[in-house]
Amino acid sequence: MVGFEHTKGSFTYVAESEITTVSVLSKDDQIFCDVNIVEEPLKIPLDSAAIFRFDANFQFRSDPVRIVLNKTSYEYEPDNRISLGLINVIKFGSNFVAMPSSLHYYMGQRDFSASMQSYTQSTLNMNTLTNNGEKSRIFQRNPNNIVSFSFSVYALNFEENIERNISVQLDVFVGKRS
């Protein structure tokens, strides 16, 4: 509906729109997530960091997303061999145009180790992400559904850390049940 008013020789245009919401059948409201590590350094010099990059292909309507990075066990405490950096959003695919575009909007948090010299967990809680793209009952690789992320892993400067293998675990939780 479009209208206008005429006041003392000037026109003021007034526009109005209506939208109708509809429910979605649960069989049509599928949640798919595929994670692909696109950059995975194999070595980190002491007193330095390695940057890991990963893409998450999110095919869902509107759901909470939480990403958690952990040292896989506490066997490295109190040695503090590594410290985990923040998880950062690098880029949104074009199906996420309804989301805040400032990458600084998505701030993660980290948890200290028992020694307070390193971080043992990094979490990025993105709250609800909304995908405006077409939905399907089967998973499809669509570059418009991809959100790109990065995180750092720091090798702390302790000589006993040289040539040690250390594992980290990355979990991506999508939906209200996770």
C-alpha span between 89 and 172 (Å, rounded): 13
Domain assignment present for 20: no
Contact 132, 26 (CB under 8 A): no
Domain assignment present for 156: yes
Domain assignment present for 75: yes
Domain assignment present for 22: no
Please tell me the total count of domains within the chain.
Answer: 1
Q: How many Cβ atoms from other residues are within 10 Å of residue 120's Cβ? A: 21
Domain assignment present for 8: no
Q: State which residues form the domain around 137.
A: 30-174
Per-residue pLDDT of the chain (178 residues; tens, 9 = 90+): 455 555 666 666 666 666 665 565 655 567 777 888 899 898 998 899 999 999 999 888 788 899 999 986 555 555 678 899 999 999 999 999 988 878 788 889 999 888 788 899 999 999 888 888 876 666 678 899 999 999 999 998 878 778 888 888 999 998 875 4
Q: At 106, which CATH number?
A: 2.60.40
Domain assignment present for 103: yes
Domain assignment present for 10: no
Q: How far is CA 34 from the centre of its chain?
A: 12
Mapped to the 3 state alphabet, what secondary structure does 86-148 carry? Answer: EEEEEEECHHHCCCCCCHHHCCCEEEECCCCCCEEEEEEEEEEEECCCCCCCCCCCCHHHEEE
